[in-house]
Structure 1
Amino acid sequence: MPRYHSLFTRTISAIALTTSCVAIAAEPEKEELKFGFIKLTDMAPLAVAYEKGYFEDEGLYVSLEAQANWKVLLDRVIDGELDGAHMLAGQPLGATIGFGTQAHIITAFSMDLNGNGITVSNSVWEEMKKNIPRQADGKPVHPIKADALKPVIDKYKSEGKPFKMGMVFPVSTHNYELRYWLAAGGIHPGYYAPLKGHTSGTIDAEALLSVTPPPQMPATLEAGTIYGYCVGEPWNQQAVFKGIGVPVITDYEIWKNNPEKVFGVSNEWAEKYPNTHIAVVKAMIRAAKWLDDNNNANRPEAVKILSKSSYVGADYDVIANSMTGTFEYEKGDKREVPDFNVFFRHNATYPYYSDAIWYLTQMRRWGQITEYKPDSWYMDIAKKVYRPDIYRQAAEELIAEGKVSTSEFPNFASETGYKPPQSEFIDNITYDGRKPNEYISKFSIGLKAKDLLK
């Protein structure tokens, strides 16, 4: 779409809004923007906002650039080389509290729900299968709990072999989901003790977790460097297609409709370019809606977009295996999982404080937050990082412009930012975002609220 046409359309829209006595969409302070992403299917809202012209509708001229890994991506947002990026939900929180890198990063947009899986090597799967009940058709009963993996790890331990698994970053959803699943099955995933110089997260670990960039996961598994991993798509399905591993569980089964990625910017950037930020969120809300419209009717087109080398670059069939409402576990065992990738429904794009607090509870559980913090601290950090006020302004402009309807969003007048208590976890432990310390103390494995590592 030509630049002059986009600006003309935006001006006419502003005039129409003025005559309707509603808020005017202010012009962006910065029009030329560069956003970063990692090659995963959940970067889709960025690709769609670009390819469908939603950024240009807002007067924004965006370039999208794949990044080598999550650390490089975060560093480039902090130093201003990138205006914003597709981020792990834990990254803005970890940076803001100073775990790893210290920087005030915020998010006003949640990019998706679910979308991850845990895959093990073929040899580990052969051992695990012995411990898993079967359906009448002979296929494994799902969800598969880590209880089935524990005897395998015990066997490795007796043989003097460390059991190594991969995840994508210390503050990634994948790290916390893998730890959650392992601990629910009685397997200790290890502690962090940053004040003592222990940053690998392997203190007392029965399974040793280490960082591997997402696209390298299948090759690392095939090489035997790790025996399993937790990653986003399409890198679990890639293991199936290559015949090198078996996805045993999705994060939908670990925590139903869990928050995954966010769109992150530095707080300094957000304060300098507030109108630009709102315009970006507007474009991404439209993209997320398009991805989920009409029961995922647009997903085949989205898969075609994502399969381009400039985005995810995996084969169409590999990406489609999960993006179009199915998920293949053991080769030939494809099951319906319509909510494996959720981009808009279930208020997926709204930045809930309770989502932020869950990540903080897991940081505390595994020692990344080294000491007791009162409930009020968790809530204060959530409000510092997650910005539903910015999201609301973007959504209300879209509603006023007739691009979306009020019914597609939370009730902004009454929304508190806290979801009701959630109980659909694999261990049936209920999470209430208003009571983080009480929640932390419910787990049999992990630090309790006031524990200190000795």
Structure 2
Amino acid sequence: MKWFKPLKSVAMSALISVSGFASMQAQAELGYPEKEELKFGFIKLTDMAPIAIAYEKGYFEDEGLYVTIEAQANWKVLLDGVIDGRLDGAHMLAGQPIAATMGYGTKAEIITPFSMDLNGNGITVSNEIWKQMKPNIPKRADGKPQHPIKADALKPVVEKYKEDGKPFKMGMVFPVSTHNYELRYWLAAGGIHPGYYAPHKGDTSGQIDADALLSVTPPPQMPATMEAGTIYGYCVGEPWNQQAVFKNIGVPVVTDYEIWKDNPEKVFGITKTFAEKYPNTTVRLTRALIRAAKWLDENNNANRPEAVKILSQSNYVGADYEVIANSMTGTFEYEKGDKREVPDFNVFFRYNATYPYYSDAIWYLTQMRRWGQISEDKPDAWYVDIAKKVYRPDIYETAAKSLIKDKLAKVSDFPDFAQEDGYRSPQTHFIDGIVYNGKKPNEYINKFSIGLKQGDKI
């Protein structure tokens, strides 16, 4: 329910209903929001959905928060907006708060109390590249390609380009994006070197020793950039893979669900200063986002058609309903006409998707080290320290417990907080079969055949 803006110095209006009074009591116990008028930023991707739903369903207003939501031109503009205070918080790449806290790029202390989703990305190649890849892909009995498609099928294509003296160019959305690390992971698992960074030498291109040259393209521009021939493929979130299918300009070859099953994707980022100055506001916005994520996954995704209708509005994602629905309602279309069931392509709440696990942050850090964004070896304890500076399960737990108390969520909706240590169990569902244990980051880094290991320098 929506309730009236809290008045701090006068008696509450008699207009408040009985249920409204219960909401008021919860407000009093949690503490009123110190800052009520907020502006949040996002990029036009379907995984910004928790913000849109928290707004449209009145969950922010239930918390006494009056929110303006504003699309941003690109990830750098978005991050700068949070740092300089133009934005109070934002839908962020998981790597952004980590990189900022480390001082890679812009230095700033950014935290996250809320992980926005699992999965949601794909890798798409142009029709011409697909034509060259297709003979290298095993077929099912019905003649359709066998999934997951590994980068092994792309390797001969990349090698031919190199032999002909042509660079093989691909796009990703930002140097510290999940998309960059997923694309690199997929390529390297197929024997294609995606290149190193050497920030200590002033080289942030990420193209040292590369077989495939990766560069930044903002998500909504991916299809047009590929159609123009500037890049031959890309890794991006939805709806920009399905857009390539609808425009008949490319073929999504693999989803991130197939690269790493139930991988963490975006986070909601705020400055550490904001969280310290406005603790009640921080818990309240986390409550609203948790409720939105829960709504998105309720009853086996029964609310997804309504969510797609909301997201298709021009002020949110602004893509056609059919394009967004193609992935968000539990399917994913690869080659034109090859639509398959992928019920977990977008996960917003189940599998503890919203809990900010330290091990998720540490995985990003291992990939930063693997590709040279972290120039030198770090002990395991360093990875833990950075993760704990950025990921804030303590705030999440406060918000979750208050929702349980208010009967807006159940104990079973969340991890067992009494037992939770912030680490997922070792994860096995990677496309290359390598197991990730967040408690042993250096051991994990040393498992890869392509990438920096302990002792290696560029």
Paired residue for 1:304? 309
Paired residue for 1:237? 242
- List per-residue Cα deviations over 1:367-401 (Å, max 9, x = no partner): 00000000000000000000000000000110000
1:24 and 1:397 in contact (8 A); partners too: no
Match of 1:280, as an amino acid? Answer: L
SS in 1 for 2:82: helix
Separation (CA, whole Å) in 2 of partners of 1:306 and 1:335: 22
Separation (CA, whole Å) in 2 of partners of 1:17 and 1:27: 10
SS in 2 for 1:59: coil
Paired residue for 1:137? 142
- List per-residue Cα deviations over 1:21-78 (Å, max 9, x = no partner): xx92211000000000000000000000000000000000000000000000000000
Q: Structure 2 residue aligned with 1:438, among 439, 443, 449? A: 443
Q: Structure 1 residue aligned with 2:336, among 327, 331, 335? A: 331
The 5 A counterparts of 1:106-125 are: 106-125=111-130
Change (3 A) 1:5 1:99: closer
1:6 and 1:56 in contact (8 A); partners too: no
Q: Structure 2 residue aligned with 1:55, among 60, 64, 76? A: 60
SS in 2 for 1:282: helix
Q: How far did 1:199 drift? A: 0.4
Q: Structure 1 residue aligned with 2:83, among 78, 85, 88? A: 78
The 5 A counterparts of 1:32-71 are: 32-71=37-76
Match of 1:105, as an amino acid? Answer: I
Structure 2 residue runs without a partner (length 5+): 8-15
Paired residue for 2:22? 13
- List per-residue Cα deviations over 1:303-339 (Å, max 9, x = no partner): 0000000000000000000000000000000000000
Separation (CA, whole Å) in 2 of partners of 1:450 and 1:27: 51
SS in 2 for 1:130: helix
CA RMSD across the alignment: 1.4
Q: How far did 1:236 drift? A: 0.0
SS in 1 for 2:91: strand
2:3 and 2:20 in contact (8 A); partners too: no
2:42 and 2:91 in contact (8 A); partners too: yes
Paired residue for 2:12? none
1:37 and 1:85 in contact (8 A); partners too: yes
Paired residue for 1:164? 169
Match of 2:134, as an amino acid? Answer: K
Q: Structure 2 residue aligned with 1:387, among 392, 399, 409? A: 392
Q: How far did 1:223 drift? A: 0.1
Match of 1:12, as an amino acid? Answer: F
Q: How far did 1:16 drift? A: 4.8
- List per-residue Cα deviations over 1:224-261 (Å, max 9, x = no partner): 00000000000000000000000000000000000000
1:354 and 1:434 in contact (8 A); partners too: yes
1:291 and 2:300 are equivalent in the alignment = no
If the length of structure 1 is used for normalisation, what is the TM-score?
Answer: 0.97
Match of 2:234, as an amino acid? Answer: Y
Aligned residues: 449
Q: How far did 1:6 drift? A: 7.3
Q: Structure 1 residue aligned with 2:253, among 248, 257, 279? A: 248
Q: How far did 1:17 drift? A: 5.2
2:149 and 2:254 in contact (8 A); partners too: yes
The 5 A counterparts of 1:178-197 are: 178-197=183-202
The 5 A counterparts of 1:303-382 are: 303-382=308-387
Q: How far did 1:15 drift? A: 6.2
Q: How far did 1:273 drift? A: 0.5
